[in-house]
Amino acid sequence: MAAILSIGAVSERTGVSPSALRFYEAEGLITSERSEGNQRRYHPHMIRRISFIKVAQQVGLTLDEIREALASLPDNRTPNERDWSRLAVAWRPRLDAQIGMLERLRDRLDGCIGCGCLSLRHCRLVNPDDELASHGPGPRTIIEPDGGTAHPPVPELRVSPAAWRPLRLAESGGGGVAARRGTGGGGAVGRIAGRGRRT
C-alpha cells in the first residue's frame, strides 16, 4: 500500500464515500494533508480511524460520542495498540449498553415496545393506558435496560399433579368430591383416607 493515499483510494478501501470523508474532516474526526495540486492525501493509519467511525455510526452511536472517543488518541503520531486498548476499555460500558438495546430490539420487536401505540394485545398487559409515557419519550421497553415494564407479566404458576394429592384426600374424607363420584368407599382414595382416620 502506498505511503500516502488519495481520497479515492481511501473511499474504495473503507466503503465511505468521498463526500462523507470530507464531512468527517470538517467535523474534526479525521485529518488529511494537501498535495501540490491541493488534493487531499491520507496517511494509511486514517483507514483504521475511518473504519472505526463507520462501524460506530452503524451501531447507532452519535458523532459526539465518536468525537469524544477519538479525542483520546494521539494527534502527533500513529496510534498504537496501547492507545486503541485504552479507548476500547473506556468505551466498553457504552458498547455493552448499545448491545443490550439492540438485543432488546431483536427480542421484543414483535411485542410491546412501550411506544404508546397500544395497537397490540400485549401492549395492554405491558403498558396499560400508556403508563410508560411517564418514563419519558420513545419506545421505553427498548430504551430502558430493565425493559421499562409498567406491569411485569405475572409468572405462570405450574403445580405438579402430586401437589394436589392432599386436597383430593381431604375432599374424599367427608362426602366430598371423591365420595360424590362413588370413589370414597372402595376406591384407592377411600382406602387411603380410611387408613388416615384409623390412625
Tens-digit pLDDT profile for residues 177-192: 444 444 444 444 444 4
Give the count of beta carbons closer than 10 Å to the beta carbon of residue 197. 7
Tens-digit pLDDT profile for residues 98-114: 899 899 989 988 999 99
Contact between 166 and 160 (Cβ < 8 Å): no
Q: Categorize the per-residue pLDDT at 148 as very low, low, confident or very high, splitting at 50, 70 and 90.
A: low
pLDDT at 25 over 90: yes
- Domain 5-103 grouped into CATH 1.10.1660.10: yes
Average pLDDT over residues 75-103: 89
Average pLDDT over residues 157-169: 47
Is the model's pTM score more than 0.95? no
Domain boundaries, the chain: 5-103, 109-151
Instruction: Compute CA 8 distance to the chain's CA centroid, rounded to the nearest angstrom.
Output: 37
Q: What is the pLDDT at residue 5?
A: 94
